[in-house]
Amino acid sequence: MPLLRMGMNIRVFSTSYRGMVCYKKFLIQYPFINNLIEKIMKRIAFIVVAMFVTAMAYAQPHADITSLGTNNTATIQQVAGENWAFIMQDLGMSENNTATIIQSYGNSEGNHANIFQTMIDNVAEITQGGLDNTTTINQWGIDNFAKVWQLGENSTITINQHPMSTLNTVDFRQNGINLSAVIDQYGTQNKVKLMQGGEDGDLNILQRGTGNKVVGIGGGFFNPDPYGYFMGDHLDIDQIGQENTVRLWSGVAGATVDILQNGNGNTATVYQTATPTFNAPMMVPQNPNLMGGPGFPW
């Protein structure tokens, strides 16, 4: 070995008793080596502990609330998992707004929930489970309401109730894989009451005006506006004007729906099913995949 050629009497790499004795003599003869080994071992121990603490930190929930207005209420509830929740009540004048984020159901990890509020009397609620989902609610108007329930994996929801909007409502539920939903509301008293399921679907809704709505089919006297339902590939709805209505039930994987209504008092009804029938359902079927995830009280 090269070290032996240098004249050092080293015979260390042995598991025998004789080898251990030689190793101790070597450390006595060269004490700086022993100090170096101790430093290296301490550094390794420090790195291992730091990695463990960091791993534990990343596995914990994160919550951030900033409320700079008057009489605002912000609530975050999360379980021990790498979930992130952020509430901002500011962005100008913020008064009497309420924001609630709940990420506390089983199998809830890697989710992000964000609520941004300004102006007056807005209400935003996010209830989210599953894995790696993201929900964002932006409210800039007065007396708007947005409620979101989400399960599944790797899906996103964005709701925007834009400046000067008033009395708009969104009640949206989503459960699936790789889903995307964007809902924009301008104006007054617009309404979305809808569910999305399936895989790899995207949904875009724009309402601009007064009294426009996207809801389900049927429902009866006591529930005239049940949840609409979509589980296809692509849904695009644009409503511009007053009192336009879309009634939707699309339960076919791969389906596409594209609706544009510009004017007043228009109604569009879309019913898509994999089973041939001439009768639309009285209410949205309670799809187990969409409505009843583990531990989720839907």
Q: What percent of the chain has pLDDT over 90?
A: 60
The 10s digit of each residue's pLDDT in 124-176 is: 999 999 999 999 999 999 999 999 999 999 999 999 999 999 999 999 999 99
Q: What pLDDT shows up at residue 43?
A: 46
Q: What pLDDT shows up at residue 268?
A: 97
**Biggest alpha carbon–alpha carbon distance for the chain:** 100
Could you give phi then psi for residue 135, rounded to 5 degrees?
Answer: -130, 135
pLDDT beyond 80 at 39: no
Mean pLDDT of 56-69: 78
User: With bands split at pLDDT 50, 70 and 90, how would you rate the model's confidence at 53?
Assistant: very low
Of the listed ranges 1-10, 148-157, 269-278, the one predicted with least confidence: 1-10
Q: What pLDDT shows up at residue 275?
A: 73
Q: Give the β-pairing of 202-210 and 180-188.
A: parallel
Q: What pLDDT shows up at residue 23?
A: 43
**Short-list 150, 81, 148, 78, CA closest to 110:** 81
CA distance 39 to 156: 48
The two structure tokens encoding residue 222: 């006591």
Per-residue exposure over 275-297, b if at least 16 CB sit within 10 Å of its own CB, e if not: eeeeeebeebeeeeebbebeebe
User: With bands split at pLDDT 50, 70 and 90, how would you rate the model's confidence at 283?
Assistant: very low
The 10s digit of each residue's pLDDT in 78-92 is: 876 789 999 999 866
| Residue, of 293 and 158, whose pLDDT is higher | 158
CA distance 260 to 86: 34
Mean pLDDT of 269-278: 79
Q: What pLDDT shows up at residue 276?
A: 66
CA distance 4 to 11: 9
Mean pLDDT of 237-251: 96
CA distance 203 to 21: 74
Q: What pLDDT shows up at residue 206?
A: 98
CA distance 78 to 104: 4
| Residue, of 150 and 107, whose pLDDT is higher | 150
User: With bands split at pLDDT 50, 70 and 90, how would you rate the model's confidence at 35?
Assistant: low
Strand locations in the chain (E): 62-67, 73-78, 84-95, 98-103, 112-120, 123-128, 134-139, 145-153, 156-161, 169-177, 180-188, 191-199, 202-210, 213-215, 228-230, 234-242, 245-250, 256-264, 267-272
pLDDT, averaged across the chain? 80
